[in-house]
Amino acid sequence: DTGVSQNPRHKITKRGQNVTFRCDPISEHNRLYWYRQTLGQGPEFLTYFQNEAQLEKSRLLSDRFSAERPKGSFSTLEIQRTEQGDSAMYLCASSLGLAEYNEQFFGPGTRLTVL
């Protein structure tokens, strides 16, 4: 069990550019979650997948944000036309099973800085 991995760990981009982050969950975990964490705040839920199906995306911050999980394995989070307000830590988590109280295992995050 190698844990949840995220790449890149850091991303610096200019306003208006598109960025994509990757998350590799723990093998065989069927659920995958994306959160955003800004300075001084706790993580904020964005979206989640059960296998390849995106079951909730209403919390994605705008239509500039999109996520995919092809084949139910790794996931990508894309932000188009980045804005300075998008600067944050983007966290990925995965869990096994269907219960709401199952432990979510978190990756180390991708820190995005938009100049």
Candidates 19, 21, 77, 109; binder of other proteins (CB under 8 A) is 109
Cis check: omega of the bond before 8, within 30 degrees of 0: yes
CB nearer other proteins, residue 18 or residue 41:
41
Does the protein bind other proteins through residue 101 (CB under 8 A)?
yes
Coil, strand or helix: which one is 71?
helix
CA dihedral over 78, 16, 87, 110, signed as positive or negative:
positive
Candidates 26, 45, 73, 80; binder of other proteins (CB under 8 A) is 45
Does the protein bind other proteins through residue 52 (CB under 8 A)?
no
The region, left, alpha or beta by phi > 0 then psi within -120 to 50, assigned to residue 16 is: left
Which residues bind to other proteins, rule: CB under 8 A? 3-4, 31, 33, 35, 40-45, 48, 55-56, 59, 91, 93, 100-101, 103-109
